[in-house]
Amino acid sequence: MLNSQNSGPIPGANYTSDTRNYPWHRPPEIETYDATVEYVMGLMQEEETAEVVYSLMGIGRPLTNIVAGLMMQSIARGKFQIDMAILAAGPVYRYLQILADNEGISYESGLDKKRIPITSTTMKALLGIVDEEDEEEDASEAPTEAAAMPVGGLMGSPEPTDESVAPAEEQAAMLGMNEEEEEA
């Protein structure tokens, strides 16, 4: 008799269920690199897609985000696999650059490594809840350039300063040594 408390999936049910519920569960429609690049570039010939892409470029969205969106949309439709999208992203990016240059649209590449420090005010601005009081507070909260950059890398220790090194007596006490052991 089945226990009514056990409402989890039946072990092995995934082996007998239909795995073609979603387009990305099926074999891709496009399997070659050249066909993948041609397909995505062909999307730009569709009026609706072209309008969206040119509008996104016009409002300053980085080309890398636009390419990622085109690729994710195609993967979701089952056109090609993720690894093929990664391979085709470079030529599609370059194609969008050429289209933007031909149309005279200034665009942001998305490849520059500008980093905006994350503060409470920047998060509120992204969410659209900025108050005038927060703008004044955040000026004192923003880290300086030197404070934001670690010295020894992600896992490296910072360079010691005079304030960070304990005096010799305190170091000996931390190690459990008394004055006689320290002198020896």
Note the pLDDT of residue 86: 94
- Do residues 67 and 134 share a domain? no
**Domain for residue 98, yes or no?**
yes
Same domain assignment for residues 84 and 120: no
For residue 116, the model assigns a pLDDT of 72
pLDDT of residue 180: 60
Q: What is the pLDDT of residue 91?
A: 95
The predicted structure's pLDDT at residue 89 = 94
Q: Which pLDDT belongs to residue 20?
A: 65
Domain's final residue, options 83, 103, 123: 103
Q: How far apart are CA 94 and CA 108, in angstroms?
A: 13
Burial class (CB in 10 A: 0-12, 13-18, 19+), 23: middle
Residue 151: per-residue pLDDT: 54
Domain that holds residue 77: 22-103
Comparing CA positions, the residue from 56, 83, 55, 59 lying closest to residue 71 is: 83
Domain final position from 103, 125, 152: 103
Residue closest to 57 by CA, chosen among 3, 5, 102 = 102
pTM of structure: 0.52
Q: What is the pLDDT of residue 112?
A: 75
DSSP string, 117-174: PP-HHHHHHHHT---HHHHHHHHHHSPPHHHHS-SS-SSSPPPP-TTTSPPHHHHHHH
Low-confidence stretches of the chain (pLDDT < 70) are: 1-6, 17-20, 114, 130-164, 178-184
Same domain, 99 and 117: no
My answer on whether 97 and 133 are in the same domain is no
pLDDT at position 117: 78
